[in-house]
Amino acid sequence: MTIHLRAANMRPATFSAEARTIEAIVSTGAPVARPGYTEVLDLRGVDLARLVGAPVLDGHRRDTTRDQLGVIEAARMTPEGLLVVIRFRESTPAQAVMTDVANGTLRGLSIGYTIEQTREAKDGTKRVRTATRWTPIEVSIVPVPADPGAHFRNGEVTMPTTELEVQVQTRAEMNTEIRSIAELAGLDRAWTDAQIDAEATPEAARELAFAAMAQRQAQTRTRTTAQITFDHNDPAVFASRVGEAIHARMNPAHELSAPARQYANIRLPDVVREVMKRHGQPLQGVSDAQVFTRAGSMVTGDLAGILGDSAGRSLRTAYDASPSGLRPAARQTQYPNFKVQTKYMLGDAPALRRVLEGGEYPMGSVAESANTNTLQTFGSMIPYTRQMWINDDLNALADFSRRMGIAAREFENSQLVTALTSNPIMGDGLAVFVAGHGNLDAASAPSVTSLNAGRVRMRKQTSANGMPINAAPRFLIVPPEYETIGEQLLTTLAATAVADVNPFAKLLLLVEPRLTNATQWYLAADPANIDGLEYAYLEGAPGPQVETTVAFEVDAMMIKVRLDFGAAWIGHRGWYRNG
């Protein structure tokens, strides 16, 4: 009998050794489990502006130039997902990785990205956070990818055919082999005769023998195994659960998670006792006043972590609940460091010109301009004293957390307003709002006529090369003096005649009380579409961050709130000012 075998070649067919390039699908938008939620990348909201030319890293490491394996030469969306073309470097580490990728032994891919906008939803009891606007900034080659669909493209798979000649067993030979299987498995003659009478193959008899052996073992032996799925002694886990319980005391509306319920309504002195017990320190006969003194430096270090967790939760609650001001009209981003960040705004590609038969193609150019932004650090610190712990005083902690959360949001809003009203000079040597930019008109109250004039100016904005960009207003930003007029202008009514239709009903009204000029108002495009006002945080630390430490010179724990933030203009074409 002849058996035909086909061997699949899994080496990526898109690899070019001469050009050192390969095609890869780096994201399919598959759900990825994160701590406390599931993250989904909406491929329709991806911004590929920073991906072409971005680095290809070794496992997301970026400490030195040796960690860069290559660059992204091209990127586009396909039905498979986000496709990129990778060119490897000529360095020794990059060549080693390229060899493994080429022979198919290294296949994992991952992306690094920033998220500008998300949408929250629930899938049963699980939180699902979808990134509706995000920007990939690097691609990494990894052993285990988070997205199972990320892969190097294989192209066509070749399957060469091999023919093998094998001998077919006779029935007598099969029966002999079945008897050997029964003898090795310790099965009786009745079992053997039953298999032979049924004309079973040796393979089928072997499977049945294994099943009989497994059943026999299950009847005579019981195994007990223990598996550790979570370490409840981890100090970080303990601090998070107790911190959540203290936060719930300060904010009764907060619903405790199941792991934190065991610490519900816990008093601060009892927190110290719980920490001391975890460290094996005696508690018998210790009063509330004595427990803190006897705790020692190791215990107070754990208390600082618990205090920081609860303060951070309360601060974030107040921060998220505070009015957002100009934030919806500005673009959020992250910077990796405190260096001056230069934003290069490329213009359009050169206009196409007719080329005569056999003629030379004309040389074109791409115009560009540059603007800058940088991060600065802001913060404040207060002590939480030993007396406050002993007195179980949560009011001071709750009040400080709430006030700092509100203050942080107010500070960010004021920085954005300062950037808006200061009308700074941009990279082209002109102010943001100036006649030369075509985005300024003399003062007049908001009306259908003045809104139309502003919209016309935005629609007529052109790129650095003079090409129309068709900017459309999304936000109407007014001082409090124009709030009522703005609401009247943007209210949608059931029109009974064409002349009564409201053409600006889709605009969103933003009222900013910090706008001190009562005659100035603004129109702004969607920041997701056109660059304008931008605000940034330090990478990995969006919003205010809380840190705690034990003070040596006083009986207190110091609570520090730090905010790394920057706001600046990176483009003028998406904004208009009246007044």
pLDDT at residue number 558: 80
| 3-state secondary structure (DSSP) of residue 231 | coil
Question: Do 138 and 109 fall within a single domain?
Answer: yes
Q: pLDDT class for 139, splitting at 50, 70, 90? A: very high
Residue 337 forms part of a structural domain:
no
C-alpha–C-alpha distance, residues 152 and 108, integer Å: 8
Residue 427 forms part of a structural domain:
yes
Question: Do 178 and 252 fall within a single domain?
Answer: no
Question: Do 100 and 178 fall within a single domain?
Answer: no
Question: Do 128 and 244 fall within a single domain?
Answer: no
- Supply the pTM of this predicted model: 0.51
Q: Give Cα 104 to chain centroid, integer Å.
A: 29
Joined together, the tokens standing for residue 373 give 């932004």
Decide which of 152, 184, 217 is a domain's last residue: 152
C-alpha–C-alpha distance, residues 59 and 67, integer Å: 8
Residue 506 forms part of a structural domain:
yes
Q: With CA atoms as reference, report the closest residue to 459 among 468, 467, 451, 449.
A: 468
Instruction: Say if residues 355 and 444 touch (Cβ distance below 8 Å).
Output: no
pLDDT at residue number 98: 92
C-alpha–C-alpha distance, residues 234 and 249, integer Å: 23
Residue 36 forms part of a structural domain:
yes
Mean pLDDT of 559-579: 90
**Angle formed at CA 94 by CA 89 and CA 99, multiple of 5 degrees:** 110
Higher pLDDT, 243 or 522: 522
Higher pLDDT, 395 or 110: 110
Per-residue pLDDT tens for 454-505?
999 999 998 877 788 888 999 999 999 999 998 888 886 554 555 566 788 8
pLDDT at residue number 298: 43
Q: What residues have CB less than 8 Å from 370, skipping those under 6 apart?
A: 342, 343, 344, 345, 427
Using DSSP bridges, classify how beta strands 21-27 and 556-569 pair: parallel, antiparallel or unpaired.
unpaired
Q: pLDDT class for 434, splitting at 50, 70, 90? A: very high
Q: With CA atoms as reference, report the closest residue to 326 among 501, 480, 535, 178.
A: 535
| 3-state secondary structure (DSSP) of residue 273 | helix
Instruction: Say if residues 192 and 179 touch (Cβ distance below 8 Å).
Output: yes
Joined together, the tokens standing for residue 143 give 């052993």
Mean pLDDT of 529-552: 84
pLDDT at residue number 219: 65
| 3-state secondary structure (DSSP) of residue 310 | helix
Residue 356 forms part of a structural domain:
no
Q: Give Cα 276 to chain centroid, integer Å.
A: 38
Mean pLDDT of 438-452: 92
Question: Do 506 and 547 fall within a single domain?
Answer: yes
Question: Amino acid letter at 464?
Answer: A
Query: Which 3-state string (H, E, C) describes 253-266?
Result: CCCCCHHHHHHCCC
C-alpha–C-alpha distance, residues 282 and 517, integer Å: 65
Q: What residues have CB less than 8 Å from 432, skipping those under 6 apart?
A: 423, 424, 426, 439, 569, 572, 575
Provide the number of structural domains found in the chain. Answer: 4
Question: Do 139 and 272 fall within a single domain?
Answer: no
Decide which of 152, 180, 200 is a domain's last residue: 152
- SS3 percent helix, strand, coil of the chain, rounded to 5, is 35, 30, 40
Q: Give Cα 189 to chain centroid, integer Å.
A: 66
Lowest-pLDDT range, 101-110, 343-352, 359-368, 538-547? 343-352
Q: What is the mean pLDDT of the chain?
A: 81
Residue 511 forms part of a structural domain:
yes
Please state, in angstroms and as integers, the Cα–Cα distance from residue 483 to each residue in 325, 477, 492, 503, 512, following that order: 14, 9, 16, 18, 9
- Residue 136: CB atoms within 10 Å: 23
Identify the top-confidence range among 264-268, 309-313, 554-558.
264-268
Question: Do 173 and 145 fall within a single domain?
Answer: no
Instruction: Say if residues 569 and 345 touch (Cβ distance below 8 Å).
Output: no
Question: Do 136 and 8 fall within a single domain?
Answer: yes
pLDDT at residue number 6: 45
Question: Do 188 and 315 fall within a single domain?
Answer: no
Task: Please classify residue 60 by burial: count the beta carbons closer than 10 Å to its beta carbon, then call 0-12 exposed, 13-18 middle and 19+ buried.
Answer: middle
What residues make up the domain containing 448?
423-578
Per-residue pLDDT tens for 19-48?
999 999 999 998 988 888 899 999 999 999
Instruction: Say if residues 134 and 45 touch (Cβ distance below 8 Å).
Output: yes
How many Cα atoms occupy the beta-carbon half-sphere of 136 within 13 Å? Answer: 31
Question: Do 433 and 555 fall within a single domain?
Answer: yes
Residue 540 forms part of a structural domain:
yes
Question: Do 31 and 126 fall within a single domain?
Answer: yes
Higher pLDDT, 556 or 127: 127
Residue 266 forms part of a structural domain:
yes
Task: Please classify residue 132 by burial: count the beta carbons closer than 10 Å to its beta carbon, then call 0-12 exposed, 13-18 middle and 19+ buried.
Answer: middle
Q: What residues have CB less than 8 Å from 49, skipping those under 6 apart?
A: 135
Please state, in angstroms and as integers, the Cα–Cα distance from residue 254 to each residue in 249, 264, 313, 529, following that order: 9, 11, 10, 37
Instruction: Say if residues 556 and 383 touch (Cβ distance below 8 Å).
Output: yes
Q: In the predicted model, is pLDDT for residue 579 greater than 70?
A: yes
| 3-state secondary structure (DSSP) of residue 550 | strand
We report the CATH number of the domain holding residue 29 as 3.20.16
Question: Do 30 and 94 fall within a single domain?
Answer: yes
Q: Give Cα 361 to chain centroid, integer Å.
A: 44
Burial 431-445 (b: 16+ CB within 10 A, else e): bbbeeebebbbeeee
Instruction: Say if residues 574 and 417 touch (Cβ distance below 8 Å).
Output: no
